[in-house]
Amino acid sequence: MGRDSGEAGTALPHEYWAAEAGPSPPTSTLTEVCGSDSTPEGLRMLLLGALLLLLALPSHGQYTTQGPPLPKGACTGWMAGVPGHPGHNGTPGRDGRDGTRGEKGEKGDPGLVGPKGDTGETGITGTEGPRGFPGVPGRKGEPGESAYVFRSAFSVGLETRVTVPNVPIRFTKIFYNQQNHYDGTTGKFLCNIPGLYYFSYHITVYLKDVKVSLYKNDKALLFTHDQFQDRNVDQASGSVLLYLDKGDQVWLQVYEGENHNGVYADNVHDSTFTGFLLYHNIE
Ligand SMILES: [Ca+2]
């Protein structure tokens, strides 16, 4: 009640009346109460009446602005009491009801990227892919060093007719003799590589019969006989496989004398002798 603390000991201001008083009281009643009795008992009754009046007054607008002032002479002894002390604070009120649900807020910013997860299990093996293109051919390999050791071959022929029987025929027309295992000066092949050899000969027969043998180390192993037909050119041939040891010699030779020496050769007729290693001895 601070509004009346500054006016203690004096008449209540008009604002007090404006805030607390009710409607303007009937003048006749107030005059009647104040003027009929001025004794202490009467004063007490007057204060009581004033209090009831304050409680009963519903409005004051007319009283404060239009109503006549209080009669001074009749209520000079009525004075306001000393304002009381402020009251104690009341007990706290109950909690209010929950408010209404607010509107949904805006979508927030994306969160930070989380840590990398663990490695997953191995997947299933896929299907086989298409066949690739052929690769580039590799380089040619180097020749083996031991290959030459197992090479032995010759192919030779007559340059002129044979005139001497019972001796090795000397073939001096060389078609091939790279290893020089055949000796043109003796007409003999000398074995340098043990193994299986193939020999063949093709003889042109002219003017006389032919009896020719293939010799191995002074022993005739193969015999070929062709009878000459007059006014004709015949051929005699033979071939054989022989196993030779190193140092063995092989050659052709006419046997039985001059009457069977029809071995012939010129520019357009050849008589040849050929031999080569088929398998070398690997034992
Ligand atoms: Ca014949």
Q: Does residue 169 have a pLDDT over 80?
A: yes
| Helix/strand/coil percentages in the chain, nearest 5 | 20, 25, 55
Mean pLDDT estimate for the chain: 80
- Output the CA 171–ligand 1 centroid distance in Å: 22
Q: Could you read off the pLDDT of 119-166 as tens digits, one per residue?
A: 999 999 999 999 999 999 999 988 776 655 689 999 999 998 877 888
pLDDT of residue 5: 41
For the ranges 2-11, 13-22, 160-169, 174-183, the maximum mean pLDDT occurs at 174-183
pLDDT of residue 20: 43
Q: What are phi and psi of 199, to 5 degrees?
A: -125, 145
Strands (E) across the chain are located at: 153-157, 173-176, 182-183, 188-190, 195-216, 220-226, 234-244, 249-254, 261-264, 272-280
What CA–CA distance (Å, rounded) separates 45 from 39?
Answer: 10
Q: What are phi and psi of 159, to 5 degrees?
A: -100, -30
- Output the CA 226–ligand 1 centroid distance in Å: 5
Q: Which residues surround ligand 1, an ion (CB under 5 A)?
A: 226, 234
Q: Could you read off the pLDDT of 36-84 as tens digits, one per residue?
A: 444 567 677 788 877 777 776 654 444 444 555 555 554 555 677 888 8
- Output the CA 127–ligand 1 centroid distance in Å: 75
Q: pLDDT tier at 17 (50, 70, 90 boundaries)?
A: very low
What percent of the chain lies above the pLDDT cut of 70? 75
- Output the CA 157–ligand 1 centroid distance in Å: 20
pLDDT of residue 42: 67
Q: pLDDT tier at 99 (50, 70, 90 boundaries)?
A: confident
The string over 9-47, giving b where at least 16 C-beta atoms fall within 10 Å of a residue's C-beta and e elsewhere, is eeeeeeebbeeebeebbeeeebeebbeeeeeeebbeebe
Q: Could you read off the pLDDT of 205-240 as tens digits, one per residue?
A: 999 999 999 999 989 999 999 999 888 899 999 999
Q: Does residue 32 have a pLDDT over 50?
A: no
Residue type at 70 in one-letter notation? L
- Output the CA 20–ligand 1 centroid distance in Å: 175
Phi-psi region of 2 (alpha: psi -120 to 50; beta: other; left: phi over 0): alpha
Q: Does residue 4 have a pLDDT over 50?
A: no
- Output the CA 235–ligand 1 centroid distance in Å: 7
Q: What is the mean pLDDT of residues 184-197?
A: 96
pLDDT of residue 198: 98
Q: What is the mean pLDDT of residues 158-177?
A: 91
**252 exposure class (CB count in 10 Å sphere: 0-12, 13-18, 19+):** buried
Kindly report the number of other CB atoms within 10 A of residue 91's CB atom. Answer: 6
Residue type at 280 in one-letter notation? H
The DSSP element (H or E) to which 64 belongs, if any, is helix 61-65
What CA–CA distance (Å, rounded) separates 262 from 256?
Answer: 12
What CA–CA distance (Å, rounded) separates 67 from 60?
Answer: 9
- Output the CA 93–ligand 1 centroid distance in Å: 155
Those residues whose C-beta lies under 8 Å from the C-beta of residue 252, and which sit 6 or more positions away, are 168, 169, 171, 187, 201, 212, 213, 214, 215, 273
Q: Does residue 16 have a pLDDT over 60?
A: no
